Structure 1
Amino acid sequence: MPLGVYLLAFSLFAMGSAEFLLAGVLPEIADDLRISLSSAGALISAFAAGVVVGGPPLAVLTLRWPRRATLVATQVVFAVSVAVGLVADDYAVLLVTRFLCGLAYAGYWAVAAVTAIGLVTPDRTARASGVVVSGLSLAMVAGGPAGALLGYFTGWRGGFWGVVALTAAGAVLSLLAVPATSADAEPSVRRELRTMGRPRLWVVYAATILSTAAYMISFNYLAAFLTDVTGVPGVWVPAVLALFGVGAFIGLSVGGRIADRRPTHALMAGALGIAACSVLLAVLAGHAPAVVPLVLLLGVAGFVLNPAIYGRVFAIAADAPTLAGATTVSAFQLGISIVPALAGAAMNAGAGLTSVTWIGAGLAAAIVPTVLLDRTLSRRERD
């Protein structure tokens, strides 16, 4: 992989850490700003809203910009928004800046994916996408916890100032290491919008939402699951969570290598793997020697299909890479966003923590028809 691909992953790690860091410092934010915990939680929703709602329009707005300029601009907007929210010390301002962060984050991710596949040969596009997405998985399992730990010693703002510094460094490195592209090389807005009407593309987006929700619903409640159901001592929970991240990197590496040639195999393996791991977690919930390795395997299964998803999107929407990439980001974020509602509905109905893994298994099973439909539509188009 070219150096620029790894740089894009680093920048995504820096920006993505701000998303996962917030959950670890919500009580401190609520106390400091003298707001309720639910009001502090709205900061998470504001970020998600920026990604889901604003990503595709922002992609169209910046479509004719040179890609390197767009990458740097979105990083600057992101870093400045975070900094303003920290300095203002006001909940309303913080809410607005979180929304702006979501917009910039979605715009960066979409252009980063397109830039990455432009830096490699066609037979390595899924692998390049997998490397870029690995920045997000690293943010999930390392950046967020590390930022929260920094905030423990410096106050909740400390971790976010770290995000500002890393994002600024990523912007500078992008100027130095990412090749410039001409705006003339960009597809037209009309062509991008026309390409987005292809049914196969929305089938892949459905698989994206389902797969993300399928593994994230277990991951989001894993700490409580481990301590309350499995009986793992709290001191070991971070180490078990880190195993999920190790599995994610393994899944991205394996998925990136097979997705370019056999995307259906990667998608199906991920779906069935998530379903199997989720069921086994529910059945063997009380047995730590079984649960711990299953967390690793869930990470592998969850991320083995991500390169294939990007590969399918860019194969189907080759004429609309920027808008299609932005919509993929929104689909990922939508999958993450529906998790609290699904889990909350189950628990409010009296179900225990193991219900989240059963929901994950059901969501994973629902991926299979979308994969088969994508394969059928692809064969029809070839014939």
Structure 2
Amino acid sequence: MPIAVYILGLSIFCLGTTEFMISGLLPLLAQEFAVSIPKAALLVSGFAVAVAIGGPPLTLASLRTSQKAALISLLILFTIGQTLGALAPTYAILMVARITTALSVGAFFGIGAVVAVNLAGTEKHGKAIAVMFGGLTVANIVGVPLGAFVGQHWGWRASFWIVAVLACVSLVGVIAFVPGSARSSTVDVMAELRPLRRPAMWSALATTALSQAALFAVYSYIAPILTSVAGFSPGAVPPILVLFGLGTFAGSYIGGHFADRHLSLNLYIGLTMLAVVFALFPIALLSKVTAIAIVFAFGIAAFAINPALQTQVMRVATEAPTVASTVNISAFNIGNTLGPWFGGITISAGYGYTSPAILAVVLAFASAIAAVVTAKLRQAHHGSNTGMSN
């Protein structure tokens, strides 16, 4: 795998750490700016909404430049936002900083995914996507817990500064190792948007959004699930989350290995496994040993599908994958936003902390149905030769 793909993975590590580490810093931020925890949590949902909305327009704006220039510009924008966040004197300015960094995330994921698969070659598309999403996995294993640790010991601003420095390292890496790519000044924007007119694209995006809604309906409440239901102490939660992160690493590796040759099968099996894991959650939480095991299995199932989700969209939009890839990142973040909301509704209704897992079973199966529909529509559009590649 070319070193440039790993540089892109490092960049995604920075972006992913920034997106998720804020959850571990909420009490510190609420105290710093004298706001409630729910208001501080808007820094999380605001980020996700900005990614979903901002990614496609920025990607369209970058079509007349080289992909390398676009990646460099997006990393500079991210670094500016991250620096502004570290210096933010008020909650409002921190929100502006979060939105600024978020705007670069969707476009960077989308453009970076296209660059990665082009560098890796036709036979290694899924593995290249897995390396990029591996950066997101490592963010969950290392970045998020480390951000919380640094915030508790040296202040939340230190966490922001560390990510800003790593973003600068990524920027140097992109400049040095990502090859330049010519981009015609006569790019047909309508051609890039054409895949969005296909039903297969919208069912693929639904697959992504529903799967992520299922994931985050449960993951968003994993701490109270472990303490209030499984009976763990609060101090046991971070190590268990590290175990979840290790599961995501294993899942990304497995998914990347199978996404190239068995794309649809990867999704069918992966989403079914995810539904089964959620169905077992209430039972597994009766024992601490099985609770730990189910969290690890959750990590594997949740991330085994990610390379296939991105690859599926890029195959639907083979001739114009850049905007479609970015729109899929928007779908990821729509799921990230809706999942906690759906889970919160069931908890607020009095059904308990295990109720999001039951809801997630339905969402995961709905995602699997959308994946089946996508495969059928894609076969119908591309013909029997494409159908054989499933």
- What range describes the TM-score normalised by the shorter chain of this pair? over 0.9
State whether structure 2 residue 182 is matched by structure 1 residue 182: yes
Map 1:103-122 → 2, pairs under 5 A: 103-122=103-122
- 1:40 is matched with 40
Distance in 2 (CA, whole Å) between partners of 1:379 and 1:43 is 41
Deviations 1:5-24 (A, max 9, x none): 11101111012111111111
Deviates more, 1:211-220 or 1:103-112: 211-220
Two-structure CA RMSD over aligned residues (Å) = 1.5
Distance in 1 (CA, whole Å) between partners of 2:312 and 2:327 is 13
- 1:3 is matched with 3
Deviations 1:115-149 (A, max 9, x none): 10110111111111111011112212321110111
Going from structure 1 to structure 2, the CA distance change for 1:46 and 1:234 (only over 3 Å counts) comes to: closer
Three-state SS of the structure 1 residue aligned to 2:197 is coil
Going from structure 1 to structure 2, the CA distance change for 1:167 and 1:129 (only over 3 Å counts) comes to: same
Say if 2:50 and 2:99, in contact at 8 Å, map to a contact too.
yes
State whether structure 2 residue 337 is matched by structure 1 residue 334: no
Three-state SS of the structure 1 residue aligned to 2:184 is helix
- Per-residue deviation at 1:103? 0.5
Distance in 2 (CA, whole Å) between partners of 1:215 and 1:45 is 15
Say if 1:275 and 1:360, in contact at 8 Å, map to a contact too.
yes
Distance in 2 (CA, whole Å) between partners of 1:51 and 1:325 is 13
Map 1:84-163 → 2, pairs under 5 A: 84-163=84-163
- 1:262 is matched with 262
Say if 1:267 and 1:308, in contact at 8 Å, map to a contact too.
yes
Deviations 1:91-112 (A, max 9, x none): 2222112111110111211111
With the length of structure 2 as denominator, give the TM-score of the two structures: 0.95
Q: Which amino acid aligns with 1:102?
A: A
Distance in 2 (CA, whole Å) between partners of 1:301 and 1:40 is 30
Percent identical among aligned pairs is: 33
- 2:239 is matched with 239
- 2:361 is matched with 361
Distance in 1 (CA, whole Å) between partners of 2:300 and 2:71 is 29
- Per-residue deviation at 1:186? 9.0
Distance in 2 (CA, whole Å) between partners of 1:372 and 1:186 is 36
Deviations 1:128-176 (A, max 9, x none): 1111011112212321110111111111111011110001110011101
- Per-residue deviation at 1:282? 1.5
Deviates more, 1:78-87 or 1:144-153: 78-87
- Per-residue deviation at 1:47? 1.1
- Per-residue deviation at 1:263? 0.8
Three-state SS of the structure 1 residue aligned to 2:120 is coil
Q: Which amino acid aligns with 2:323?
A: L
In structure 1, stretches of 5+ residues that fail to align are none
Q: Which amino acid aligns with 2:70?
A: T
Q: Which amino acid aligns with 1:358?
A: I
With the length of structure 1 as denominator, give the TM-score of the two structures: 0.96
Say if 1:218 and 1:360, in contact at 8 Å, map to a contact too.
yes
Deviations 1:34-78 (A, max 9, x none): 223332222222211210111111110111211111111111111
Say if 2:25 and 2:151, in contact at 8 Å, map to a contact too.
yes
State whether structure 2 residue 299 is matched by structure 1 residue 302: no
Going from structure 1 to structure 2, the CA distance change for 1:379 and 1:88 (only over 3 Å counts) comes to: closer
How many residue pairs are counted as aligned between the two chains? 383
